[in-house]
Amino acid sequence: MTKEKLLFYIYPPVRQDIRWHRVMKVVGWFLSVASLIYFPIAFILYFGVIQRAILHIVYGKDKSKWFVKNNSDISIKNEVNYERKKKAEESRNKILDLFDGKEEMTNNDVEEFLKVSDSTATRYLDELEKEGKIVQIGRQGRFVKYRLK
């Protein structure tokens, strides 16, 4: 193989006329714009419509099942929530039992009795107030007291 043939394969001749360059410029511009439009649309279609269609086919219309990995996760969460609600209910009943010895009670009394934080004691007292079992006297701060209804 001669040197010219080798150079021909490594560096093929390039057309030098202006029209060819203009055509190639337009084709390059078109391909870049088309790729900018095509790829995001394909991405959205694949991860949006197709994924939802697959989930709809597999799990049906109930969207709560679409992203749950394990049914045991749901049962564990329900058990934990049940325990929390049960403990909160017991704490509110203890607060009502504490009223038997006192006429009025403050947030600090509930904190010390139940050994909970200020916000937890406030939440329990607010829930009892919403249930209509106690009445708040005073608006805010250390002057707030609670009485049985």
Higher-scoring residue by pLDDT: 5, 126: 126
Q: Which residue's entry shows tokens 């009670």? A: 105
Q: Output the pLDDT for position 36.
A: 76
Confidence of residue 79 (pLDDT cuts 50, 70, 90): confident
Those residues whose C-beta lies under 8 Å from the C-beta of residue 98, and which sit 6 or more positions away, are 105, 109, 110, 113
pLDDT over 70, % of the chain: 77
List beta partners, residue 134: 148
Mean pLDDT for the stretch of residues 7-12: 70
Mean pLDDT for the stretch of residues 135-140: 84
How many C-alpha atoms does 38 have within 13 Å on its Cβ side? Answer: 6
Q: Output the pLDDT for position 84.
A: 84
Confidence of residue 66 (pLDDT cuts 50, 70, 90): low
Mean pLDDT for the stretch of residues 66-93: 74
Mean pLDDT for the stretch of residues 115-134: 89
Q: How far apart are CA 136 and CA 113, in angstroms?
A: 19
